[in-house]
Structure 1
Amino acid sequence: MNVDEEVERLKEEIKRLGKPQSDGSYTVTFGVLFNDDRCANIFEALVGTLRAAKKRKIVTYDGELLLQGVHDNVEIKLKAEAVPSDAAEST
């Protein structure tokens, strides 16, 4: 799986685990993503995939490097423009 494919899968997982926001975005904490069994099986390097998504301006979060335990409560936001319009309308 290449980086673009991993970023697309990350978007799906954030929508699955996250909470929809009124602006069409989704939010989830790093701890929820990191500790999810499905995510653990999909992503060999979740932190690297998150950094790639942040660089592509698909997600936002505070800081550069997220670490398990230390940053479990950091909120990750999947930007509304990264969510297909049909997904945003169905929430």
Structure 2
Amino acid sequence: MDISAELKILQDAIKEYGTVNSEGRSSCAYGILFDNTADTLEALNGTLRAAKRQKKVAFDAEILMMPKDKDVQVVLLE
């Protein structure tokens, strides 16, 4: 699967499983994304890092790890 398809899956998952934060952006906990994209995104961390580099998402960590970062919010920027 190419990265643009994986980014689309990630964006759709954040919208579907997350909530809208106080800034009006979709946001989802990493643990929820991890649980709900395990079958479709084999390398969730790689996809998240690519999305962060492209400024499509934001989160407060260099890399997210389960279970330590399960409550970290991944915010959709576009």
TM range (shorter): over 0.9
Matched with 1:13 is 13
Give the whole-Å Cα distance in 1 for the aligned partners of 2:76 and 2:46.
Answer: 16
Give the whole-Å Cα distance in 2 for the aligned partners of 1:5 and 1:52.
Answer: 12
Matched with 1:66 is 64
Pair 1:43-2:45 in alignment: no
TM-score normalised by the chain length of structure 2: 0.92
Q: 1:23 offset after TM fit, Å? A: 3.6
Matched with 1:26 is 26
SS in structure 1 opposite 2:50?
helix
Q: 1:22 offset after TM fit, Å? A: 4.8
Amino acid paired to 1:65: I
Matched with 2:50 is 52
SS in structure 2 opposite 1:42?
coil
| Count of equivalent residues | 78
Q: 1:24 offset after TM fit, Å? A: 3.4
More helix by share: 1
Larger radius of gyration: 1
TM-score normalised by the chain length of structure 1: 0.80
Give the whole-Å Cα distance in 2 for the aligned partners of 1:56 and 1:21.
Answer: 21
Pair 1:4-2:4 in alignment: yes
Q: 1:4 offset after TM fit, Å? A: 1.2
